[in-house]
Structure 1
Amino acid sequence: MTTVRRTFLKNTAAAFVAAALPAINFAQGGPAADAAARRFAPRPGDWHTFDVTTRVDILLPQGATRVWLPIPCIDSDYQRSLESSFFSNGKTQRMADGRSGAQMLYAEFAASEVNPFVELTSRVQTQSRAVDWSARQSAREDADTLQHWTQPTALIPTDGIVNKTALEATRGAHTDVEKVRKIYDWIVANTYREPKVRGCGEGDIKTMLETGNLGGKCADLNALFVGLSRAVGVPARDLYGVRLAPSSFGYKALGANPAGLQRAQHCRSEVFLKGHGWVAMDPADVAKVMREETPQWIKSTRGGVVAPVNRALFGGWEGNWMAYNSAADVVLPHSSGDKLGFFMYPAAENAGGRLDPYSPDDFRYQITAKEVQA
């Protein structure tokens, strides 16, 4: 029996036993009612406008330097990507990866430039999401588009162990909604937030499943959710972005300090469901609340601070977050390096190679957000 299969059965059995026990607040050591006041119920409503600024300073240039900054390009019922402006002491150009559709600012600096810098400001409007499961709507999407979002990528294959795991997780499900519900619950039950993972993780779901190491961060856990969904024929995609503001519901794990967002990147996901359209999903943030919201690692989704998050993030999310793109296998124009699995962090190269995007202090970039009156 594979490690993944053993883990799945173990967690399923544990969930069955837990269902027969009274709700316990594992973080507090007392009844779940102690934390019942912590509600989390995002709903569509007012739009919020943010100016999001990314500033890159190359402190120790080595030869010619190239920089790529993601530009938000999502326009939907939860985000409006408006104008972007930029300035630099290098040559700049707005560009796109023709295959993935990722929008970016490209800046190039001659070897003679001793203090290369580039600054990009993008204005976006965001609002929260929440699907009404009791209502069906005429949700249409181009057939080719839906087919595209069932295809494998370099980091998200849909065959082999991914397909096998998806079939196990969705056993007994008949509709797409039932399949997605089972996959979401499988992710929450079988994966976990691993704070030691650098950045948002790599999103290599095949390696995760083959090794049985199901700890990671948002780009790992939500990529696994997307891969399992695609493997059973449900269109799904990751959305790569950054948190912009604190959570209005008081969850420190689900918000960010707008004065410094260079470690606030966050990947979310969504699936297309007939009668509902594109629906928000974020099982990775459930794992984050379980691991980081309280001093102790919460091991149950029942009661306390986790239950409302687990419930709301199946079909919704809070609008204190901005998406850059949903691109995968991104080719950076004029780059001498490998393609990117996803494009959520600033990227830069010089004569010494590609700089480390997960080390903003060494790379020296800063991201800030300011809410403005539109």
Structure 2
Amino acid sequence: MTMMTRRTLLKAASGAMLTSVLPQAAFAQQQQEKRFAPQPGDWRSFEIVTRVNLQKTGVPAKVWVPLPSVETEWQRSLSDEWTGNGKTMGIATDSRYGAKYLAAEFDGAAPAVLEVRSRVQTRDRATDWEKPAALHAAPDDLRHWLQPTDLMPLDGIVRHTARQIVAGAHTDIDKVQRIYDWIIISTYREPKVRGCGVGDIKAMLETGNFGGKCGDINGLFVGLCRAAGVPARDAYGIRLAPSAFGYRELGGNPASLKSAQHCRAEVYLRKHGWVAMDPADVGKVMRLETGTWIKDPDHPVVAPVRKALFGGWEGNWMAYNFAHDVKLRGSTTGKLGFLMYPQAEIGGEALDPLDPDAFKYAISARSMTA
């Protein structure tokens, strides 16, 4: 079945489903065109606070909290401060990707308490497709973003799938557009997946299970781009504030950001430099925004997001890092596929950052005037 044929069938099926399930008035309201059009403008300032409180005593503990370590034309990291009762507390850095995190050790004499405050500035992004980039990345840097990772191999089924998708495409932007469209049509948001997913793209392709969350879907997008010869990278971060465009699923609640982690993606295009991408959020809008699973990527609720997230994103989100296969300093439990959540070990055993009963922490954000 060709891509266009599948899309036509999806549109027909989703239209029939929506008409039969929704009351006519609600359906008509959902058909109204929504607006989602981030544009570069003023910087926004945020303070992000992460509080960790481990209740167990008598056993040594270690905690690692990711810090924003991205300096780009769309994000500035301003400062990091911390307080707590750790016997040692300090910043550590991943040697390959430069990802920063606070590493703290506790002797177990009292419940471990740690508070980290980070200040950043962010702004909206949108690519001017008529204007070439003023600055270009060095070849050595670009080669770095064409390499495989543990969960992102670039041979075998990944390379084969990428070549099928981009067959006949002559430019890097054409390749990326095809992969972006393929991701939106082939994958889907699966709310039952824990956290942001695992990001094992080989398993996704081998099993044909394309349901996941941002770590899976944008990870697959990045892997396919790399396998097609286009430098690409995941940006692991967190939503900080509601969307200015009224999309409920594209924003965070500043008072409680514990489940607001989200990774985005970038590709490097020869004419335009690093360009923002987020096909996973298109899938999130399709699955969750209206309360009814929209399966038509051209639906009026979805279309503005699909268009804008090819080349842009909203600055109500912060990136921590671009890192894969992270070995935390002092950890005894191996590498992380990515660093987007606080991490902890008690007595050498890792706590589950997605289990609030076992690992108590809270993340919040506030807007700042400067």
Fold similarity call, TM over 0.5: yes
Query: What is the aligned-residue identity percentage?
Result: 54
Cα deviations across residues 41-80 of structure 1 (Å, max 9, x unaligned)? 0111111100000000001246110000001011111100
Q: Which residue of 2 aligns with 1:261?
A: 257
Aligned pair partner of 1:49 in 37, 45, 50: 45
Q: Which residue of 2 aligns with 1:200?
A: 196
Give the conservation status (yes or no) of the 8 Å contact 1:138–1:275: no
User: Offset of 1:18 from its aligned partner?
Assistant: 6.2
Asked if 1:219 corresponds to 2:215, the answer is yes
Q: Matched residues in 2 for 1:268 and 1:152: separation?
A: 18
Aligned pair partner of 2:320 in 310, 321, 324: 324
How high is the TM-score relative to the length of structure 1? 0.93
Q: Which residue of 2 aligns with 1:14?
A: 6
Aligned pair partner of 1:74 in 70, 79, 87: 70
Q: Matched residues in 2 for 1:265 and 1:188: separation?
A: 20
Q: Matched residues in 1 for 2:149 and 2:219: separation?
A: 11
Q: Matched residues in 2 for 1:310 and 1:24: separation?
A: 22
Q: Which residue of 2 aligns with 1:359?
A: 355
Q: Which residue of 2 aligns with 1:119?
A: 115
Aligned pair partner of 1:166 in 162, 168, 174: 162
User: Offset of 1:170 from its aligned partner?
Assistant: 1.0
Give the conservation status (yes or no) of the 8 Å contact 1:53–1:368: yes
Q: Which residue of 2 aligns with 1:110?
A: 107
Q: Which residue of 1 aligns with 2:91?
A: 94
User: Offset of 1:23 from its aligned partner?
Assistant: 7.8
Distance 1:124 1:60, change over 3 A: same
Q: Which amino acid aligns with 1:211?
A: T
User: Offset of 1:225 from its aligned partner?
Assistant: 0.2
Q: Matched residues in 2 for 1:84 and 1:264: separation?
A: 20
User: Offset of 1:24 from its aligned partner?
Assistant: 8.2
The within-5 A match list for 1:17-32 is 17=9, 26=18
Q: Which moved more, 1:199-208 or 1:127-136?
A: 127-136
Q: Which amino acid aligns with 1:13?
A: T
Give the conservation status (yes or no) of the 8 Å contact 2:14–2:295: no
Q: Which residue of 2 aligns with 1:3?
A: none
Give the conservation status (yes or no) of the 8 Å contact 1:47–1:127: yes
Cα deviations across residues 247-288 of structure 1 (Å, max 9, x unaligned)? 010101101110000100000000000110100000000000
How high is the TM-score relative to the length of structure 2? 0.94
Q: Which amino acid aligns with 2:6?
A: A
Q: Give 3-state SS (helix, strand or coil) of 1:195's partner.
A: coil
* Unmatched runs of 5 consecutive residues or more in structure 2: none
Q: Matched residues in 2 for 1:325 and 1:338: separation?
A: 19
Q: Which moved more, 1:352-361 or 1:319-328?
A: 352-361
Q: Matched residues in 1 for 2:29 and 2:253: separation?
A: 29
Distance 1:19 1:135, change over 3 A: farther
Q: Give 3-state SS (helix, strand or coil) of 2:222's partner.
A: helix
Distance 1:372 1:25, change over 3 A: farther
Distance 1:277 1:32, change over 3 A: farther
Q: Matched residues in 2 for 1:370 and 1:300: separation?
A: 36
User: Offset of 1:136 from its aligned partner?
Assistant: 1.8
Give the conservation status (yes or no) of the 8 Å contact 2:332–2:348: no
Cα deviations across residues 268-311 of structure 1 (Å, max 9, x unaligned)? 00000011010000000000000010111000011321000011
* Unmatched runs of 5 consecutive residues or more in structure 1: 1-8
Asked if 1:372 corresponds to 2:368, the answer is yes
Aligned residues: 365
Distance 1:137 1:338, change over 3 A: same
Aligned pair partner of 2:229 in 233, 237, 242: 233
Cα deviations across residues 193-243 of structure 1 (Å, max 9, x unaligned)? 000000000000001111110100000000000000000110000000000
